[in-house]
Homo-oligomer: A and B are copies of this chain.
């Protein structure tokens, strides 16, 4: 018993903003355990040559048909009892992406794939609820010192869109005048000449993120509100 074998898995918390709300990508389990419950996309590290990062990307693609996104390792969960079948250690990953243009497709182990608002989650399999709250915390911090917000936005976006990302993730409203001033002052936003026409009101100017300018900033820039 002292050397029961341990299984290594990866699970990904894929987050996106939809209509001002933070959402997470879940799959509905087809098999036991936790059959019919929703869970994070993920699975065993079985292709022996792949890195953990590659495994996370592969599993995400296989189970949801989502690929080519930003992924980073979050935390590794290995408590006994997190999987009733036996000891498993899972490296949890965080993905930040935009829903636009995706075509969700459930993989063979799943009965469905869907985006769920993080504030209205169903009952989840395993310890996946814990993993999601860890991810939310991490994203909050990432917004403050990294260009993470831009992974959640399309190439071109309005200042209002950007502000909505911050408000959704931080869970609080921010003053729009100060927000604009502060962000424009960082220099990481490139003003385009295009505008976005959303309805019968004044069109908003579009911007893009400049990685180049971001890298000129000090080690830990502070985008705090």
Residues of chain A at the chain B interface (Cβ within 8 Å): 1-8, 45-52, 73, 75-76, 78-80, 87, 89, 91, 141, 144, 220, 222, 224
* Contacting pair A78 B8 (CB below 8 A): yes
Interface pair A4/B80, CB less than 8 Å apart: no
In contact, A87 and B52 (Cβ under 8 angstroms): no
Are A1 and B48 within 8 A (Cβ)?
yes
In the complex, which residues of chain B have a beta carbon less than 8 angstroms from the beta carbon of A79? 51-52
CB nearest to A1 among chain B residues: B48
Please give me the 6 A-B residue pairs with the lowest Cβ-Cβ distance, nearest first: A52-B78, A76-B76, A6-B8, A76-B91, A51-B79, A4-B48
28 inter-chain pairs at a CB distance below 8 angstroms, sorted by A residue, are: A1-B48, A2-B46, A2-B47, A2-B48, A3-B46, A3-B48, A5-B5, A6-B7, A6-B8, A6-B45, A8-B8, A8-B89, A45-B78, A45-B89, A48-B80, A48-B87, A49-B80, A51-B79, A52-B78, A52-B79, A52-B89, A76-B76, A76-B91, A78-B91, A89-B89, A89-B91, A144-B220, A220-B224
